[in-house]
Structure 1
Amino acid sequence: MKETLLMILDGYILWIVVFFLLSFFLASKRVFRMLLLLIFIYLVELLTDKLGLTLSSDVLKVALEYLPIIIIVVLAPDIRKSFESAFTIDSKRDIATMGSQETKQHIVEAVTYLSSQNIGALITIEKHSSLDQYAERAIMMNSQVSKELLINIFTPLTPLHDGAVIIRGDSIRCAGAYYVLSETTKYDKTMGSRHRAALGISEVSDSLTIVVSEETGTISIVLEGIMLKANDKEKIYEYLNMFMK
């Protein structure tokens, strides 16, 4: 009986480790490609060693010693994002708390006003995936969503204008939240940090983020790694109604 329980425990621990490693490496394409590169170099090194190709084998052994360190330094943001994704896979809530029509109206009016004044903004609306890990490192508010409060938060030179606002249901959960920037190459390489932050959070959660450009005043909707322009109220309402239903 004891041996059976130990075998079950042994298999369960192995399953957890394999599951975590797969979640970690598959969360970022760049991390996964680097893993494949390491495996490839390791296999080539084994082959050169078997064939007696001394010079090639020695060079590859040295490369295998230092390459993991180089990869960790170069891919630090991707590795952090992979860790966050791996640890938050089970953080989704069964029932999403969606805001009311009044909340949508306040968000749209605030965003369009900020756009007209070329004031940068980053507003994330939570759905099933919990964003508590970001909120807890930000300035907690738990305030009712209002146009005036959102505008005040993002007004330049105010204490909370940097970072993102996270909205859960009808309340502003926090302000001044920071996300891991996306490394995607699908969009313009000159894209600002707000847009890359919006893409970054959309890649690790099912949230929707509204970005207002400080330079141009353009409004973008970011969801599931896709960025869409939405420069009129009707378009923003359309996206919010589809998302917050």
Structure 2
Amino acid sequence: MRDILAQINYLNIFTEILDILIVSYVIYKLLMLIKGTRAVQLIKGILFLLIASNISDFFHLYTIKWILDKTWATIFVALAVIFQPELRRALEQIGRGQFFVRVNTEMGMGDMLRLIDEVTRCVLKMARTNTGALIILERETGINDYIETGIKIDGIVSAEFLSNIFVPQTPLHDGAVIIRGDRVVAAGCFLPLSDNPYLDSSLGTRHRAALGITEISDAVAVIVSEETGSISIAYEGKLVRYLEEKTLRDKLQELLVPKPTGNTHFWQRRVPS
């Protein structure tokens, strides 16, 4: 036994473990970087093609295998173009020294309830004056692609802060405000419009944008109509209209406050410092 232990090269074992840990961490950071972006769907498509290629090889489906092999060459050439925003973001984070920094993302129940209270107060105030507004609350699915379309902001959510953003004739009042955790991260953002053909024809751009972002993510959208002052909430591609203060607050708590389970909800852990 001593002879066997003497032959073990502990330095090689250490370097191999270190190598695996570094590669695993880099892959994890890259996955977190693209989480919630359109790149995730592309990766799913690539994985599907990879599985299809292996299946066709196993069953000797030579024509399909040949087509897939030719497709791979095109895909690898196109990846640099397709993932250009994510690659740029990664390089920017490395340049700022943020790529390997762990963000403190704990958010307590009190903070969540305060957030809901501030959003509710803001929305009620704007509804009284028929001031149009679109507020997006990010949840599990990241929406970085749409944050990039607006003006970056980093401020604690408050009713007064949000109200000032939506003052008519100001540069940012027409776009969406995006909230991550308890901070406003961007304003004046452009969102995808819902292409649901069965929507009420009376719905305006804000409502269609709110539905659009909730169809492709798990975000929650709060809308104030500029025409009627009515308050609506969109989530999971559904729209709940004509909310009063109590129903608005209750719905936000239902959607954002974690249920009493053993799992830690996203809003308890994802708040940028």
TM-score computed with the length of structure 1 as normaliser: 0.58
- The within-5 A match list for 1:57-76 is 58-68=66-76
Flag the 1:65–1:183 CA change in 2: closer, same or farther, 3 A.
Answer: farther
- Show the counterpart of 2:265: none
- The within-5 A match list for 1:192-211 is 192-197=208-213, 202-203=217-218, 208-211=220-223
- The within-5 A match list for 1:206-225 is 208-212=220-224, 219-223=231-235, 225=236
**Structure 1 position 94, deviation (Å):** 1.8
- The within-5 A match list for 1:172-183 is 173=184, 176-178=187-189, 181=192
**Structure 1 position 236, deviation (Å):** 0.6
**Structure 1 position 38, deviation (Å):** 1.9
Distance 2:159 2:194 in 1: 31
Distance 1:22 1:100 in 2: 28
Instruction: Give the structure, 1 or 2, with the largest relative contact order (CA under 8 Å, sep 6 or more).
Output: 2
Matched position secondary structure for 2:73 = helix
Is the contact made by 2:155 and 2:185 (CA closer than 8 Å) also made in structure 1? yes
Matched position secondary structure for 2:135 = strand
Is the contact made by 2:138 and 2:179 (CA closer than 8 Å) also made in structure 1? yes
Is the contact made by 1:222 and 1:228 (CA closer than 8 Å) also made in structure 2? yes
Q: Does 1:31 align with 2:42?
A: yes
- State the Cα RMSD in Å: 5.2
Residue from 167, 176, 183 that aligns with 1:164 = 176
- The within-5 A match list for 1:1-245 is 1-16=10-25, 19=28, 30-43=41-54, 46=57, 53=62, 58-68=66-76, 91=103, 93-96=105-108, 97-98=111-112, 99=114, 103=118, 105-113=120-128, 117=130, 120-125=132-137, 134=147, 137-140=151-154, 144-146=158-160, 150-166=162-178, 173=184, 176-178=187-189, 181=192, 192-197=208-213, 202-203=217-218, 208-212=220-224, 219-223=231-235, 225=236, 227-233=238-244, 234-242=246-254, 243=256
Is the contact made by 1:181 and 1:197 (CA closer than 8 Å) also made in structure 2? yes
What's the CA shift string for 1:46-95, capped at 9, x where partnerless?
Answer: 469x78x5x6665443322224556887x779x96xx99xx8xx757222
Distance 2:26 2:143 in 1: 24
Flag the 1:71–1:184 CA change in 2: closer, same or farther, 3 A.
Answer: farther
Distance 1:69 1:155 in 2: 46
Distance 2:58 2:177 in 1: 53
Is the contact made by 2:127 and 2:225 (CA closer than 8 Å) also made in structure 1? no
Is the contact made by 2:214 and 2:237 (CA closer than 8 Å) also made in structure 1? no
